Structure 1
């Protein structure tokens, strides 16, 4: 290995699957990602691209099911990796509009949600049909009762 543990400086690692649960927009997501465990101290490290992929997978799941709550819009924006000003620019709205979406003052229109869905899909390397994106933007979001399994993979 050409790296060391941030915690103990150990240099021997084993490949493991890290399992975690996260709640986003009232939905429990069970997440499993490839990780490394330090043989010396047991610290588990997940590669940066997998952390981003985890957030993008959750954002994609929410977006394709019509989630446009304040929490969902903020989560999608952060998963995409944009600050509110950049997100506003990409969606051709003012930063104040994004702030109002994220605070719940107003709800984003379906076309803006469609653009956000498209950005999330593009970052995941997906090529959805425009009709699927528009359908997702118009869908009524209903959180599932059962947890959702997410298995992100780093982009190749």
Structure 2
């Protein structure tokens, strides 16, 4: 329904949907959130990861540290539940999300190195993580996810 000659597209401007009623809209996400691996550590089976040691490795593992945390808008509720993309593959967030960092298990990814790109929201290879996926996992709305991305995250605008 329209009124007069104007339309308010809201969050659709970013290629996101405002509710389940709009899932039929064909929109293309116009934002991504990426970081780089800042640290790698091999850990033995049974090692606890992150504050509270809430994740224990079940085999010798390679754990990567990513410099993004709840201070940046990555929800703590994704501790031991979130996923990110590395080299086009989904890898789990392990341990508690901290203020400035998350840890991910990259054991099954070939030739991982410091500086490799990590996609938190967006596409990499054939895989993607959409804002909708995060909002559903957290039982919230897309607005809360994107509005939670803090100012200290550098923004790059493309034309």
Shorter-chain TM-score range: under 0.3
- Structure in which a larger fraction of residues adopt helix: 1
Q: TM-score, normalised by structure 2?
A: 0.23
Q: Which protein has the bigger strand share?
A: 2
Provide the TM-score with structure 1 as the length reference: 0.24
